[in-house]
Structure 1
Amino acid sequence: MTTRTPHSPDTRKEGPVPTEGTPKDEHTASGDRTVSAPAAGRPAPAAGLTALVAWHAARTPQALAVADGDTTLTYAQLVSSARALAAHLREHGVRRGDSVALLMPRSARTVVAQLALWWAGAVCVPLDPAHPRSRSEALAADAGATLTVGDSKLLESAGLAGATLALPGEPLMGGGDIAGAELGPDATAFIMFTSGSTGRPKGVAVPHRAIAELVSDPAYLTLTSRDRVLFHSPMTFDASTFEVWGALANGAAVVVCTAERPSFEDLAQHVERHGVTVAFFTTALFHQLAGRRSRVFSLLRTVIVGGEALSTHHAREVLRAFPWLELVNGYGPTEATTFTTAHRVTDADCDGQMPIGRPIAGATVHLLDDTGKPVPDGERGELWIGGSRLAHGYTGQPQLTAECFSDHPGPGRLYRTGDLVSLRPDGTLDFHGRTDDQVKIRGFRIEPGEIEHALREQPEVADAAVTVHRPSPDDARLAAFVVASPGPVPRPDALRDRLTAVLPAHLVPDEVQFVDALPLTASGKVDRRALTDLVGAARPDAPAGPLNPLEQAVAEVWGRSLGRDVTRPDADFLALGGHSLLALAVTDDLREELGVELTLADFFAAPTVAGHAALVERALLAAHSDLRPGAPEDTDGH
């Protein structure tokens, strides 16, 4: 067993946490549950998140708990408001064990609502306001939601089938004691959905105990009651579990970024304005921020990243430019509650492959071969996860649950990740890819099969395959290859538009290309490696069109992010393989180089070179009104 020695917050800032001992054997390792001694009377993680938050409210009632720019709540106010809302929910029929869908934008009210659902005895099923209505309805149905609660305007515009309840616009206060309705530590806290290879998303049932153990007095990073943690992930993304409850389980404050799709500058301004000290970034976002030497790193003390392989080049640049920064590389699937392993990154780590670390907070890891036996020391094996933070399984999918979660002699119940890893002599793990087709892009776990299923549902599509195209080390794009049915062939952009009606944005391919047939391996399976060689092969660049000076400036900014020459005023950002993260990079460059702020909504409303040039021109004229034709002359003669 790998044992972490206790550390005070101050000593933990100096570098990686020292370890003692060796893994239990050469094939397994477990996260130590022994951390620094909790404060007297503090509930154990098994008591659950509601008990931890209530304890902090009793101990430091006036400490800041949640802030979103418009609203601030102390711990006393958070608990009072959540208990009052819980009573309100029970008056409207919410009962112990009910699954209740939550549809709200990020705000202080979101945190109150999650806590209230638990105090009412319910399971929280987060929905993303940006997802298509059909998907939200399907997820709520798969989770067995009896009710959807949330923001009145969102509920009205979503037009969801089934019962809905608009939550009060202002936090309720004066909540009573309804502890009798609380769920126990083994009850489900969240149902969070991940991509499914059959076309059906998988609802992962995460218990209260698992979240509480992950976030209670964590030894894998510095998080104290004096910290402020940024909450900017979608509620449907398991990182939000850490962002919200990591703060509240430790008496710290949650700082909510209310921008739906914050720009790089939005994030930096939010961190600066609210004194944020701890933040999670997807690895892809971290790479973009690192490549720009973002000032956000000068403001933070601790950054934890996860979702994809961490670039040693970017990690080293950040650590050398901001040597005080605590950078933690985290790894873990939703099925094992957000983070299974973690590694505090040093400059020396950047000389070779970046490790994903050791198991943390009650997790265990086991490296097994195809027969289920431990692999020899140093060899690659499939990673199976055990310990106390496993999910209950997949809601409504018992067969899939049995396939992925199984009992083993000795280690007990384990989750099969499909990830290939190896164990170093010092007990840290290295990641070596997948045993299947699953991919990670911009922090999201994606099963190509789910996208392929949606494509084959289109009448003009006979067959389809999806793979990942990497035009540069920092950019990963979903590329779809489609075999058309007999008859008229739809335009790629029209096919993408139809997919946006049934899939969330991160599952819509960045590039769609028609092919005569899908390449196959000798065994008759789709040859995904051969597919990557086809990207762009059947789509030569169109002849260059005339660009005016402003369009040329926009085209050059586009070209840097897209990794290709952009020569036409009617070039479409999405058709060229652009996506939301690259759009953030473009808007940041336009702000830096042309002094123009474009929102992502404006960006995607007119996603051509000419459209962006017109937006830039309009913004420049608005900022310098004296340059407009017919502007009144300065009467002072200046």
Structure 2
Amino acid sequence: MLTGDAVGPAALGSRATSTGALLLAGLDAAPRDVAVIDGGRLLTAGRLKRDAERWAALLTARGVGAGDRVAVLMERSAAHIAAALGIISVGAAYQPSDPRLPAARVGELLTHSRPALLITDSDSAGPGPAGLPVVTPADADRWTGPVPALRPGPGGGDTVYVMHTSGTTGRPKGVVVPHRALVTRFRWGQRVYPLGRGDRVLWHANVGFDFSVWEMLAPLAFGATVVVGDPREAGDPDALAACLARDAITAVHFVPRMLGLVTGRLSAAQAAQLRYVFCGGAAMSPAVRDAWLTAYPWTRLFNQYGPTETCIDSTTFLCNGSEHTGEVPIGTPVDGTHVRVADDSLLPVAPGGTGELLIGGLGLADGYLHQPERTAERFVTDPYGERLYRTGDLARLDPDGRLFHLGRLDRQIQINGVRAELGEIEHELLRHPDIREAHVTALTRGPDTVGTLAYVVADAGLTAAAVRRHAADLLPRTLVPTQIVRLDSPLPRTHKGEVDVQALRAAHAPGH
């Protein structure tokens, strides 16, 4: 299809749209198998189900039911998983928040989202809404009332989780995701990289990121084991590599920066059990991809893309294979998903053209919690009557139907009247085999933008002149970086994983 549209395969098993039904079937299939490893604690599927039943009974007694939202302010743990299962069972929506957020931020999230109840093992909930009921894992442990059997709960268009993401105005956006989206995502994953008995999936994503939902729940649906990552090891590549070896992890997700840092820290023998490696959250450079596949060629390395608004992943690309050289695509749509590279009228661009990436299909969120105007702005109806999410990302679709992510539309600048996409410059810089990360900013002189400044993470042997020659081979002269700063260490990141521009400028200004 030589247009700016691409459509993923029809979703398999779309009749079963209850997340709870999938999870319950998985737990009941092998109740004596280990479902969760949390430090030195091993929980069988049967024990986890009983713990979830206690949570469901407690929540019901506190008045929580279908259509409610339950905020969860807990670190990764077996108790967190059991609480999430209990929430889904009673028909409520799981609404996680990172317990390491400032108390004031947590209070803002709770005030805005107005949940029916808060589950926490932390004292950092902040000033939430007056009268908000609070329960803890200890309350579930002490529950002595009736404990009915775990129910599958609702499905289809009912809300399964609410995940907050940052807003351009500073106000958090609660993304409302229905069961049909999550079930479609789980079933697609099981088709492309099937999990089963003997698989161990590391749950180490921040609970405020939607990939965390896949890490902690999808393994349970298909007979695999969830290994709870130690929060004290977050961001430590040595500790993460040790965990992969010690706990015989078979499936793990990285952001590209961490993928690069972990590469080489595991011997081939230590990584022998690894089957699936997922990478997302930022652009993967060819250098990072090639280093990993050279070290661990038996693993299947997937580059994945998807905003929170489209349920975890919308596109994927399997990086293995001799034909997969050069830049790394974000791939093709997942099952039940339609993507479009569009012009300003939301119509497909010509083949090979660039435009805004729009996403439609079963993975779409319902919108933003309590923000109808913001929802209407980002979730739009195209001239054909299809509901699409405007990602704000710039993309290109090649003749083979593969998507390439070129950065953010809101990072456009004008240089002497010529429009420049900073993300496009970064994209081309990352095609150099020795550049692991790149970030480009505007270079200003007074009120005028006179060029661009590129920060590149690369070995000392790569000179600024070599980077400039590489860029000149791929970009119009106006877009070739005016100044280049080479870094030995990775780009600084915020807790959301985005480049910390202020820290970068403070530590690595030109001339430092």
| TM tier relative to shorter chain | 0.7 to 0.9
Distance in 2 of aligned mates of 1:66 and 1:193: 26
Partner of 2:157: 186
The equivalent residue for 1:210 is: 181
Residues 120-158 of structure 1 deviation map (CA, whole Å, 9 limit, x = unaligned): 22211111111000101111122221321121xx1x354
Question: Does structure 2 conserve the Cα–Cα contact (< 8 Å) formed by 1:125 and 1:140?
Answer: no
Secondary structure in 2 matching 1:215: helix
1:92 and 2:62 matched: yes
Structure 2 equivalent of residue 105 of structure 1:
75
- The C-alpha deviation readout for 1:188-208, integer Å capped at 9, x for no partner, is 111111111111121111112
| Structure 2: distance between partners of 1:294 and 1:581 | 30
Shift of 1:294: 6.9
Query: Are residues 1:30 and 2:3 paired?
Result: no
Corresponding residue of 1:345: 319
How far does residue 371 in structure 1 lie from its aligned partner after superposition?
1.9
- For residues 463-502 of structure 1, give each alpha carbon's deviation from its aligned partner in whole angstroms, at most 9, with x where no partner exists: xxxxxxx999445689999xxxxxxxxxxxxxxxxxxxxx
Alignment partner, residue 362 of structure 1: 336
1:167 to 126, 137, 148: 137
- Contact 1:225 1:252 (8 Å CA) reproduced: yes
What is the alpha-carbon distance in structure 2 between the residues aligned to residue 293 and residue 59 of structure 1? 34
Larger Rg: 1
1:429 aligns with 2:403: yes
TM-superposed CA distance for 1:277, in Å, is 0.2
- Counterpart secondary structure, 2:317: strand
**Residue identity in the other structure for 1:384:** L
8 Å CA contact 1:220–1:342 kept in 2: the answer is no
CA distance in 2: counterparts of 1:402 and 1:528, whole angstroms: 36
Question: Percent identical across equivalent pairs?
Answer: 35
Mapped to 2, the partners of 1:169 and 1:480 lie a distance apart of: 53
CA positional deviation for 1:328 = 0.5
The answer on 1:134 being equivalent to 2:93 is: no
Deviations along 1:270-314, whole A, 9 cap, x unmatched?
A: 222322100011122112223756767444111010011111112
Q: What TM-score do the two structures reach when normalised by structure 1?
A: 0.63
Kindly provide the amino acid, as one letter, of the partner of residue 260 in structure 2.
Answer: H
Give the Å deviation of 1:104.
0.9
Distance between the aligned counterparts of 2:225 and 2:352, measured in 1? 42
- Counterpart CA distance in 2 for 1:415 and 1:333 is 10
* 1:579 to partner: Cα distance: 7.3
Measure how far apart 1:411 and its partner are.
Answer: 6.1
Whether the 8 Å CA contact 1:228–1:252 is kept in 2: the answer is: yes
* Partner in structure 1 of residue 482 of structure 2: none
Task: Work out whether residues 220 and 360 of structure 1, in 8 Å CA contact, stay in contact via their aligned partners in 2.
Answer: no
Q: Which residue is equivalent to 1:501? A: none
The alpha carbon displacement at 1:100 in A equals 1.5
Q: Distance in 1 between matches of 2:176 and 2:93?
A: 9
Deviations 1:350-383 (CA, angstroms, capped at 9, x unpaired): 5321111100121111121112221111111211
Which residue number in structure 1 is paired with residue 258 of structure 2?
285
Counterpart of 1:51 in structure 2 is 21
Residue 367 of structure 1 contacts residue 422 of structure 1 at CA under 8 Å; is this kept in 2?
A: yes
Residue 178 of structure 2 aligns with an amino acid whose one-letter code is P
- How has the CA–CA distance of structure 1 residues 133 and 228 changed in structure 2, closer, same or farther, with 3 Å as cutoff? same
CA distance in 1, matches of 2:445, 2:160: 43
Distance 2:24 2:317 in 1: 31
Kept after mapping to 1: 8 A contact 2:107/2:126 = no
CA gap 1:520/1:399 in 2 versus in 1, 3 angstroms: farther
Q: Quick one: distance in 1 between partners of 2:272 and 2:392?
A: 37
Match of 1:76 in 2: 46
Change (3 A) 1:26 1:297: farther
In structure 1, give the amino acid aligned to 2:71.
Answer: A
Greater relative contact order (CA < 8 Å, ≥ 6 in sequence): 2
Relative distance call for 1:292 and 1:228 in structure 2 (3 A) is closer
Asked whether 1:269 is paired with 2:242, we answer: yes
What is the Cα deviation at residue 168 of structure 1?
Answer: 2.3
CA distance in 2 between counterparts of 1:399 and 1:127 reads 24
Which segment is superposed worse, 169-178 or 213-222? 169-178
State the SS of the aligned residue for 2:344.
coil
Deviation, 1:418, is 1.3
Contact 2:10 2:336 in 1 (8 A): yes
**Residue of structure 1 aligned with 2:166, choices 188, 195, 206:** 195
Once residues 378 and 494 of structure 2 are traced to their aligned partners in structure 1, the CA distance between those partners, rounded to angstroms, is 32
Closer, same or farther: CA 518–96 of 1 in aligned 2, 3 Å: farther
Native 8 Å contact 1:281 1:306 kept in 2: yes
In structure 1, the partner of 2:86 is 116
Pairwise CA distance, 1:86: 0.6
Q: Secondary structure at the match of 1:351?
A: coil
What is the RMSD computed on CA atoms of the aligned residues?
3.3
Q: Cα gap change, 1:46/1:110 in structure 2, threshold over 3 Å: closer, same or farther?
A: same
Equivalences for 1:96-495 in 2 at 5 Å? Answer: 96-151=66-121, 154=122, 156-161=123-128, 162-168=132-138, 175-177=147-149, 179=151, 182-216=153-187, 218=189, 219-262=191-234, 263-290=236-263, 297-348=271-322, 351-410=325-384, 412-437=386-411, 473-474=435-436
Residues 89/426 of structure 1: CA separation in 2 closer, same or farther (3 Å cut): same
TM-score normalised by L of structure 2: 0.78
Q: Is the 8 A contact 1:101 1:127 kept in 2?
A: yes
Q: Is the 8 A contact 1:67 1:256 kept in 2?
A: yes
Q: Secondary structure at the match of 2:94?
A: strand
Provide the secondary structure at the position in 2 that maps to 1:436. Answer: helix
Kindly tell me: are residues 420 and 60 of structure 1, through their superposed partners in 2, closer, same or farther at Cα, counting changes over 3 Å?
same
The CA distance in 2 between the partners of 1:562 and 1:26, in whole Å, is 37
| Aligned partner letter, 1:143 | S
Contact 1:212 1:249 in 2 (8 A): no
- Is the CA contact 2:56–2:89 (under 8 Å) kept in the aligned structure 1? yes
Give 1:138's aligned amino acid.
E
Whether the 8 Å CA contact 2:347–2:382 is kept in 1: the answer is: no
When residues 298 and 411 of structure 1 are mapped into structure 2, their CA distance, relative to the original with a 3 A threshold, is farther
Amino acid at match of 1:125: Q
Contact 2:395 2:405 (8 Å CA) reproduced: yes
Shift of 1:176: 1.3
Whether the aligned pair in 2 keeps the contact of 1:217 and 1:223 (CA below 8 Å) is: no
Q: Which runs of 5 or more structure 2 residues have no equivalent in the other structure?
A: 413-428, 456-486, 498-512
In 1: Cα distance, 2:398 partner to 2:254 partner: 26
SS in 2 for 1:168: helix
* Residue identity in the other structure for 1:30: V
Q: Do the aligned residues in 2 keep the contact of 1:190 with 1:205 (CA within 8 Å)?
A: yes
Listed as ranges, the matches of 1:535-550 within 5 Å are none
Q: Provide the residue aligned with 1:573 in structure 2.
A: none
Q: Distance in 1 between matches of 2:209 and 2:150?
A: 29
TM-superposed CA distance for 1:217, in Å, is 5.4
What's the secondary structure of 1:328's corresponding residue?
Answer: strand
Residue 214 of structure 1 deviates from its aligned partner by: 0.4
Which amino acid in 1 is paired with 2:212? S
Q: Find the aligned partners of 1:277 and 1:325 in 2 and give their Cα distance.
A: 9
Deviation at 1:346? 2.3
* Amino acid of the structure 1 residue aligned with 2:489: S
